[in-house]
Amino acid sequence: MINTKVTLAGVELKNPVMTASGTFGSGAEYSEFVDLNKLGGVVTKGVANVPWPGNPTPRVTETASGMLNAIGLQNPGIDLFCKRDIPFLKQYDTKIIVNVCGKSTEDYCEVVERLADEPVDLLEINVSCPNVKEGGIAFGQNPHALEAITKEVKKYAKQPIIMKLSPNVTDITEMAKAAEAGGADILSLINTLTGMKIDIYRRTFALANKTGGMSGPAVKPVAVRMVYQVAQAVGLPIIGMGGIATAEDALEFIMAGATAVSVGTANFFNPYATVEIAEGIEKFMVQQKVEDISQIIGIVK
Ligand SMILES: Cc1cc2nc3c(=O)[nH]c(=O)nc-3n(C[C@H](O)[C@H](O)[C@H](O)COP(=O)(O)O)c2cc1C
C-alpha cells in the first residue's frame, strides 16, 4: 500500500495533484473528461467582488512549448460564483480552493470575507497576475505591499491562505519571506512570466493587451528553480506549478520541495492531464518503492 495523501495547513488532499487557476474554469467544463473525485483539489478561476469583463481580444496566442494569455481575470463576481460554482464542486470528493483577485486590498478582503462561511477548503490569493492594470501584480512585486496585504487578508479569512507568487521579480525568496512574515499559511508558485509576441504580418502585437503571461512546458525549468529556492528559504508548504504536463514533471516539483502541484496549460492540450499525472505519480511510487509521498517531498537539497 502506498500513501499519496498530503496535508496543506491541516487540509488533507487524497493526492498532490490540483488544477491551476484559470485553466479549468470551476471544474464544470472539464467534468465530462475528468473524474474530479480523482483530484487532490480543484483550484477555481480567480473571482472578484464584482463581475469583470476581462481584456479585449485577441487575448491568447501560442508560443514555442507554451502560450501567452492576457485574459485579464474575466469572472462572474462572487455572488454568482457562490450560487453556481461552489454547489457544483461540492458534489465531488475533492478539496475546493478558491482563487481570489481584486483591484484593491478592500476588494480582496471583501471576497475573502464572503467566502468565510462557504464550504471552501483553502483560499489562493492572486497577487501576481501580470494582465490587469490595477491590483494583481502591483502587490506581488513589492515585498512591503505583499506582507501588508497578506496581513489584511488574514484578518478576514476563516480558511488557510495560499499566497500566489509572481516569477516577475529579481529575488523570489524575498517575496516568499514577505508573505511568510504577513502570516501566509501556504505559498503557490509560479504565476505566469510576462512576455510579448509580435504578429509580423499585421505589424502589431499578437495580443490586444500588448503583453501577456507566459505558461506551459517552456517555463518549467524556471518554475522548478524557484520552488527549490523558496523551499530552502521559508518553512511554509509549497504548491508548485509552471509547465507541468506529465507525472515526471510533477515529481520534479515535489522533489524540489513542493507538497502539492497544480496543472495549468497542459489541460488545454490534454484534458486528461490531471488524472494521468495523479495515476503516474502512484505508478512511479510503486516502481521506485516509495511507500509514502512525504519521503520524496523536498528530497533534493
Ligand atoms: C488562460 C490562463 C488563465 C489564468 N488565470 C489565472 C487566474 O485567474 N488566477 C491565477 O492566479 N492564475 C491564473 N493563471 C496562471 C496559472 O494558474 C499558472 O500559475 C500558470 O499558468 C503556470 O502554470 P502552467 O504552466 O501549468 O499553466 C492563468 C493561466 C492561464 C494560461
- Beta bridge partners, 18, equal 41, 262
210: left (phi over 0), alpha (psi -120 to 50) or beta: left
Average pLDDT by stretches of 10, the chain with 301 residues? 97 98 94 96 96 95 98 93 97 98 94 98 90 72 94 98 97 98 98 97 97 98 98 98 98 98 98 98 98 98 92
Cell 495515476 found at? 279
Is 214 strand, coil or helix? strand
Q: Is the CB of 59 under 6 A from ligand 1?
A: no
- pLDDT, position 194: 96
Cell 501567452 found at? 68
Q: Is the CB of 227 under 6 A from ligand 1?
A: no
User: Residue 255 and residue 298: Cα distance in Å, rounded?
Assistant: 5
Active site residue 129: yes
For a mutational test of ligand 1's pocket, the pick from 164, 215, 262, i.e. the residue with the most ligand atoms closer than 8 A to its C-beta, is: 215
Round the CA-based radius of gyration of the chain to a whole number and report it: 18
- pLDDT, position 139: 87
> Comparing C-alpha atoms, which of 79, 69, 73 is closest to residue 46?
73
User: Residue 256 and residue 233: Cα distance in Å, rounded?
Assistant: 12
- 290-296: which pairs have CB atoms within 8 A and are 24 or more residues apart? 290/2, 291/1, 291/2, 291/3, 292/2, 292/3, 293/2, 293/3, 293/4, 293/5, 293/6, 293/16, 293/254, 294/3, 294/6, 296/251, 296/254, 296/255
Q: Is the CB of 166 under 6 A from ligand 1?
A: no
How many A from CA of 290 to the centre of ligand 1? 31
Among the atoms of ligand 1, which is closest to the Cα of residue 189? 19
Q: Is the CB of 254 under 6 A from ligand 1?
A: no
- Span 88-140, pLDDT tens digits: 999 999 999 999 999 999 999 999 999 999 999 999 999 987 767 666 677 88
Among the atoms of ligand 1, which is closest to the Cα of residue 45? 8
User: Please, is 150 exposed, middle or buried when counting C-beta atoms within 10 Å of its C-beta (0-12, 13-18, 19+)?
Assistant: buried
Q: Whose CA is nearest to atom 28 of ligand 1?
A: 22
How many A from CA of 137 to the centre of ligand 1? 13
Cell of 260: 502539492
- pLDDT, position 137: 74
User: Residue 83 and residue 185: Cα distance in Å, rounded?
Assistant: 27
- Containing H/E element for 266? helix 266-269
191: left (phi over 0), alpha (psi -120 to 50) or beta: beta
The model's pTM? 0.97
Cell of 291: 511507500
Q: Is the CB of 216 under 6 A from ligand 1?
A: yes
- pLDDT, position 174: 98
- pLDDT, position 177: 98
How many A from CA of 170 to the centre of ligand 1? 20
